[in-house]
Chains A and B, each alone.
Chain A
Amino acid sequence: MKYVNSLLRGATITFGLLFFALPIYASSAFAFKDREGNFSLAPLQRAGANEELMESLFLTLQIAFGTVVITLLLLIPTIAFLHLVLPQARTFVEFLTLTPLVIPPIVQGVGFLYSMPTQLKSTPNALIFAYVILALPFSYRAIDAAFSTIDVKTLFEASTSLGANFFTVIRKVIIPNVMNGIFGAMFLTIALVLGEFAYASLLLWDTFPTQLAVAGLSDANTAVALSVVSLVGVWLILNGLTLFNRRGTTTTMGAL
């Protein structure tokens, strides 16, 4: 029975790894092999020379940064409040965060157009707010799961009883203990922004994914190469940050 269990576990893990790794491998093989089948970085060089693509990449990174900042500023205090004061409302809020998955992008896009202030609507920053909402089903879950692994109430009360104010508690006690969830939310949010096409296209902004689609019409290798590099790059950076944070937890975290 033990043997069967470990076999099943091994098979599941292998299947999971293949599920994620195969498409990335296939994309890489397609993008980075020339006609003779040799490894080549030519698609990335061509991308670097494409000015419009590079501009859209910087704009998208800017939007991703804004989206992450607003997502964290919105979600960390909200989830802390829900865990501390209104735990009975958690199910309802979780349901609310799922709505972007079920409302069609065209409806959401038109809704944004009507609800945005004119000054904001005329800049690509309008997309930040759209992406904050679009990323909610993933970012909320990642952070909420991290909060669920700690006894927020007791930690909050313990630090308050020692004289810490609300912001000190959040900064020094709560955030360091939910960092993995925060990194998870960051990764998912950035990945979503780097790959989101429908909103940007509907709202007529040239972001990385829309430019990538245009570039893909004439040079599919470049488009796929950039997709792979951006996905793997974000994954590596955030994993590096997670590892750094974990090491910090056992060495320097907690120093006020």
Chain B
Amino acid sequence: MSKVVMTNIEKSFGRTHALRDLSLTIPEGSLISLLGPSGCGKTTALRILAGLISADSGQTFFDSIDITNTPAASRDIGMVFQAYSLFPNMSARQNVEFGLKVRKVAPNEIKRKVDDILEITGLAIHQEKYPHQLSGGQQQRTALARAIVIRPRILLLDEPLSALDAQVRDQLRDEIRRVQLEFGITTLFVTHDQEEAMTISDQVGVMHQGSLMQLDLPQRVYDNPENPTVARFIGAMNEIPAVVAGSSAIVLGQRLEISQKSEYSRAVGQHFALVRPEFLLLDAENGEGEEGTISQVAFLGPTSRIHVALHSGTKVIAVLPSAQALQFSPQQRVRVSIGLSSVLVSD
């Protein structure tokens, strides 16, 4: 288990700038997720850390040891890939044994370690099966066991759940976290799935166009996005027209402070306030805010999602506890306001 540090990493593919001045620290034993849309550079960062590609500039350290130029085979990493990567000519057990045999571990030690990991990952009964005889979930679990059995300094997970169906994905996601905590392995998890990242990570890094926009606790990334880009990417977000006046903005008829993290041009133009659905308030009476008509009420269990067409033409979504949402129905007129004192403003 190691502390991993990447500093000022730059990488281009032809004219495409894949990574821009990326600096990232993964504390020993923690799990960090890199989250972002396709092409944001998250997989490139992971592959540079694995040594599968080299950075144009910048350095990578494992426990203060510079491994920037160390080949992948000597980095002592475990990796699980998005594509099924088990060796087709080997059984599940032989796949798990591979890394230990390459390291010339004693046969009795290999047997003990492999038995242990197969038990922990629930693969003992499938150990003699070949990859084509295993389900997608079992294959990825075997790949996880194969990566962990060598006790790597860092575990790299490159969207390992994306090819699985929803139920298996949830199970394996929880299993990855359980095993990671049990072994205390420093882990980098790359995904485009917000729920995955939020659920199992100690910290979440949001990437956009090759840059790390924010690295923070999952809760903080959601509640206090560093900038409008992060705010738009994480969770649902209403974009409501705002009139900027000095350090405040008028949104839905309310004067609200503009958050310091806002990014907007000072020139006169169209601005938007970014407001999460749970911070929109609906009032059936003549209260504060702008008037609109409910177009849809969707029951989601503990919460309900209410779609409102404001009379100004903007469409917004509010999320309310289902018990509270009972009083609203389609075609009903309501007033919509914001339950915040400051808002993020963007162009």
Query: Smallest Cβ distance from B284 to chain A, in angstroms?
Result: 57
Give chain B residues whose Cβ lies under 8 Å from the Cβ of A255. 94
Chain B: CB-nearest residue to A248: B89
Chain A: CB-nearest residue to B88: A177
Q: Mark B262-305, 1 if CB is under 8 A from A, else 0.
A: 00000000000000000000000000000000000000000000
- A18 vs B81: C-alpha distance in the bound complex, in angstroms? 47
**B87 and A164 contacting across the interface, CB-CB below 8 Å:** no
Q: A162-B99, A162-B146, A168-B102 are in contact. Are A155 and B73 (CB under 8 A)?
A: no
Q: Is B83 an interface residue (CB 8 A)?
A: yes
Q: Is B78 an interface residue (CB 8 A)?
A: yes
Give chain A residues whose Cβ lies under 8 Å from the Cβ of B91. 254
- Total residues of chain A contacting the partner, CB 8 A: 24
Q: Mark B51-83, 1 if CB is under 8 A from A, else 0.
A: 010000000000000000001111111110101
Q: A159-B87, A161-B72 are in contact. Are A154 and B81 (CB under 8 A)?
A: yes
B72, B84, B156: most-surrounded residue (chain A CB, <10 A): B72
| CB-contacts of A206-256 with B (<8 A) | 249-250, 253-256
Query: Smallest Cβ distance from B29 to chain A, in angstroms?
Result: 20
**A151 and B83 contacting across the interface, CB-CB below 8 Å:** yes
- A176 vs B91: C-alpha distance in the bound complex, in angstroms? 13
Q: Is B18 an interface residue (CB 8 A)?
A: no
Q: Mark B92-117, 1 if CB is under 8 A from A, else 0.
A: 00110111011100000000000000
**A249 and B89 contacting across the interface, CB-CB below 8 Å:** yes
Q: Is A150 an interface residue (CB 8 A)?
A: yes
**B99 and A176 contacting across the interface, CB-CB below 8 Å:** no
Q: Is B150 an interface residue (CB 8 A)?
A: yes
Give chain A residues whose Cβ lies under 8 Å from the Cβ of B99. 162-163
**B98 and A157 contacting across the interface, CB-CB below 8 Å:** no
* B interface residues with partner A (beta carbon < 8 Å): 50, 52, 71-79, 81, 83-91, 94-95, 97-99, 101-103, 130, 143, 146-147, 150, 156
* A interface residues with partner B (beta carbon < 8 Å): 150-151, 154-155, 157-165, 168, 172-173, 176-177, 249-250, 253-256
